[in-house]
Structure 1
Amino acid sequence: MARKIPWIGTSWKMNKLRADAQSFARTLAASPVAQATNCQPFVIPPFPYIAEVAQLLSGTKVKIGAQNMHWADQGAWTGEVSAPMVKDCGATLVELGHSERRAHFGETDETVALKTQAALKHGLTALVCIGDTKAEFDSGQTAEALERQVRGLLKYVSKEASGKVIIAYEPVWSIGEGGTPATPEFANEQHIKIAALVQKLTGGSLPILYGGSVNPQNCVALANQSHIDGLFIGRSAWDAASYISIVQSVTESLS
């Protein structure tokens, strides 16, 4: 059976200035990855650069995302950004529930559920992050933590999620500088469990990406696992040439 087309993308988090964003987008637009048919590339810039990056990558296959959004369409939510605003800037994807949002900004399973519902209401693809903390991993609670978060994100959408929600498994202990990458085998085991739960809750399947210290050395081994449907890459893809190289290495290995 043919492999699914992998999603391969990167979030810049709170990095890059305008000139850096322009340079990345122009380099990517000029590369073969921009018109790739053997993967789905995506880039998630900081809010101030979404519109410009989207414009520079218009006419390509690259999807543009936002790093967060509010569940309300409008209102007295100072400093927040709504789904209509995200769409108006040219994004078609929104990242939700990242562990940094959960740890530092009060994100909960309930707010992730509300945001996922709002994203689907407005035709955005919701890329929802889930992950186990180091304490949960060390105490053997990974499966319970992931089940709680999957049930949470699907709370208000369930069967409507098909084709509109992507899950990214990002072990909290593997994210960021000094993070420890999960072994491909461990990551795949978690993806198998997540996929089974998704099937139970929605009656179908959702793409499940792996993120957490993905780098040029482990990207191929991770992407070739049976239940890993793509990669969500951090700092290893913040340089356009590095991102392009990872995409090409993965797609060549899967062809």
Structure 2
Amino acid sequence: MGSPQTWVGTSWKMNKTLAEARTFVDVVTASPPPAGLQPFVLPPHTALAAVRDRLPDNSPYLLGAQNAHWGPEGAGTGEISMRMAKDAGARLIEMGHSERRESFGETDETVALKAAAALDHDLVPLICVGEPRSVREAGEAPTFIAAQVRAALSRVAAERIGQVIVAYEPIWAIGTAGQPATPEQIAPVMAVIAETVDGHGRGSAALALLYGGGVNADNAAAILGDPHTDGLFVGRAGWSPEGFLRLLDLAAAATGAGSSFVTN
């Protein structure tokens, strides 16, 4: 693993009212996460400030936004800027998720623009990459993913690669209709991502390389056994407080994390 911490995060996608978001925070933060873990949560934009205000002071939980525009401000109906996301409490910005690419016109170029804009605002780009089933079945997943990573980092200076997170989420493994990937399917692609990122950063590792897509309590430990995987980025498995806490416990056990969190 390249990161000294194991990252465990969840995107709530289009879920949770303000009351539900506050309840999640209250339950999850009732006890500190194990040392060695970096937990993070990506609420919908409507709940960002509410979650920020509910987190205890100096909370180890990082807050992120599921999307933000690369433009500083202006006529972007329905969008929010990086500055606005940061003002609402976000420290991470997700970009490039397959749902955004398929349904909302996200492209390799807009992901690159967002990555650069996030860094300009001292935010961490959380770049999602993933191949469709047809690419996987054709044996072209490593080539496809390497191209996505290179495109996403095309506007990122080599010296800033250590501020970027890349999450591998194969499209065929995502959602209720997805088929969870096996560690044997994940490992070669994670190695390609690590090699591609290191090449862009001239040997500098990313902040973290994460895996997401069909992660659950049954396969989380095995996925974390991969040497290039620094953590997990999950959807529905982390939507309930109990589910998220279970994933933190599993990650701690799988990586030998301690029993109490120590802030930096």
Name the TM-score class by shorter chain: over 0.9
Q: What is aligned with 1:13? A: 13
Q: What is aligned with 2:201? A: 202
1:242 is matched by which residue type in structure 2?
Answer: G
> C-alpha separation between the residues in 1 aligned to 2:119 and 2:2?
28
- Contact 2:131–2:144 at 8 Å: present in 1 too? yes
1:45-102 Cα distance to aligned partner (Å, 9 max, x none): 0000001101111421000000000000101111110000001001111101100000
Q: What is aligned with 1:215? A: 216
Q: What is aligned with 1:248? A: 249
Aligned to 1:162, what secondary structure does the other structure show? helix
Q: How many pairs does the alignment contain?
A: 253
Q: Structure 2: where are the runs of 5+ without partners?
A: 257-264
Aligned to 2:162, what secondary structure does the other structure show? coil
- Contact 2:2–2:228 at 8 Å: present in 1 too? no
Aligned pairs for 1:63-142 (under 5 A) are 63-142=62-141
- Contact 1:185–1:225 at 8 Å: present in 2 too? no
- Contact 1:132–1:173 at 8 Å: present in 2 too? yes
Matched, 1:37 2:29: no
Quote how far apart the aligned CAs of 1:31 are: 2.2
1:202-233 Cα distance to aligned partner (Å, 9 max, x none): 11111110000100000111112111110001
- Contact 1:43–1:64 at 8 Å: present in 2 too? yes
1:54 is matched by which residue type in structure 2?
Answer: R
Q: C-alpha root-mean-square deviation of aligned residues, in Å?
A: 1.4
In the superposition, the TM-score normalised over structure 2's length comes to 0.93
1:91-120 Cα distance to aligned partner (Å, 9 max, x none): 111101100000011100000000000000
Q: Per the alignment, do residues 212 and 142 of structure 1 end up closer, same or farther by CA in structure 2, a change over 3 Å counting?
A: same
**Percent of aligned positions with the same letter in both sequences?**
44
- Contact 2:12–2:44 at 8 Å: present in 1 too? yes
> C-alpha separation between the residues in 1 aligned to 2:115 and 2:225?
28
In the superposition, the TM-score normalised over structure 1's length comes to 0.96
The list of structure 1 runs, each at least 4 consecutive aligned residues, that deviate by more than 2 angstroms after superposition, is: 1-4, 160-163
Aligned to 1:80, what secondary structure does the other structure show? coil
Q: Structure 1: where are the runs of 5+ without partners?
A: none
> C-alpha separation between the residues in 2 aligned to 1:58 and 1:116?
29
Larger RCO, structures 1/2 (Cα 8 Å, 6+ apart) = 2
> C-alpha separation between the residues in 2 aligned to 1:202 and 1:45?
30
Q: What is aligned with 2:229? A: 228
Quote how far apart the aligned CAs of 1:2 are: 9.7
> C-alpha separation between the residues in 2 aligned to 1:134 and 1:253?
29
